[in-house]
Amino acid sequence: MSGVVIVGAQWGDEGKGKVTDLLAERCDAVVRFQGGNNAGHTIVKDGVQWKLHLIPSGILHPGTTCVIGNGVVIDPKVLIEELDALRARNLDVSGLRISANAHLIMPYHLLLDSAGEAKLGSLQIGTTRRGIGPCYADKAARLGIRVQDLLDEKILKKKIVAAMEPKRLSLRPFEKDPSLDLKSMVEEHLTYGHRLERHIADTSKLLWEMLEEKACVIFEGAQGAMLDIDHGTYPFVTSSNPLAGAACVGAGVGPRAIDEVWGVSKAYTTRVGSGPFPSELHDETAEEIRRRGGEFGTTTGRPRRTGWLDLVALRYAARLNTLSALAITKLDVLSGLSTIKVCTGYRGAEGAEFDDFPYHQTVLHHARAELTEVPGWSEDLGECTSLSDLPKAAADYLELIEDEIGVPIALIGVGPGREQVIWTEAGRATLLGSGAQRSQSAL
DSSP assigned state of 296: B
Amino acid code (one letter) for 95: G
Please identify, using beta-carbon distances, which residue of 100 and 143 lies nearer to ligand IMP: 143
Please identify, using beta-carbon distances, which residue of 222 and 401 lies nearer to ligand IMP: 222
Hey, is 67 helix, strand or coil? strand
DSSP 96-156: EEEETTPEEPPHHHHHHHHHHHHHHGGG-----SSSHHHHHHHHHTT---BGGGGG-HHHH
Please identify, using beta-carbon distances, which residue of 272 and 431 lies nearer to ligand IMP: 272
DSSP H stretches of helix in 220-270: 245-251
Q: Which of 237, 259, 239, 238 is nearest to 248 (CA)?
A: 259
Q: How far is the CB of 95 from ligand IMP (least distance, A)?
A: 24
DSSP H stretches of helix in 141-235: 153-164, 168-171, 182-196, 203-212
Alpha-carbon distance of 417 to 156, in angstroms, equals 44
Contacts with ligand IMP by CB under 6 A lie at: 11-13, 38-40, 125-128, 130, 132-133, 222-223, 227, 236, 238-239, 272-273
Query: Is residue 44 within 8 Å of 19, Cβ to Cβ?
Result: no
Contacts by residues 284-287 (CB-CB < 8 Å, ≥ 24 positions apart): 285/337
Q: Is 366 a catalytic residue?
A: no
Q: How far is the CB of 310 from ligand IMP (least distance, A)?
A: 15
Q: How far is the CB of 76 from ligand IMP (least distance, A)?
A: 17
Q: Which of 201, 197, 200, 207 is nearest to 249 (CA)?
A: 207
Q: Which of 41, 53, 189, 231 is catalytic?
A: 41
> CA torsion, points 111, 72, 293, 8, in degrees to nearest 10?
130
Query: Is residue 55 within 8 Å of 18, Cβ to Cβ?
Result: no
Q: Is 138 a catalytic residue?
A: no
Please identify, using beta-carbon distances, which residue of 75 and 370 lies nearer to ligand IMP: 75
Q: How far is the CB of 78 from ligand IMP (least distance, A)?
A: 13
Please identify, using beta-carbon distances, which residue of 148 and 239 lies nearer to ligand IMP: 239
Q: How far is the CB of 239 from ligand IMP (least distance, A)?
A: 6
Q: Which of 265, 270, 331 is nearest to 297 (CA)?
A: 270
Task: Give phi and psi for 185, each to the nearest 5.
Answer: -65, -45
Q: How far is the CB of 43 from ligand IMP (least distance, A)?
A: 14
Alpha-carbon distance of 385 to 389, in angstroms, equals 7
Residue nearest to ligand IMP (CB): 273
Please identify, using beta-carbon distances, which residue of 40 and 69 lies nearer to ligand IMP: 40
Please identify, using beta-carbon distances, which residue of 277 and 377 lies nearer to ligand IMP: 277
Q: How far is the CB of 176 from ligand IMP (least distance, A)?
A: 26
* Enzyme catalytic residues: 13, 41
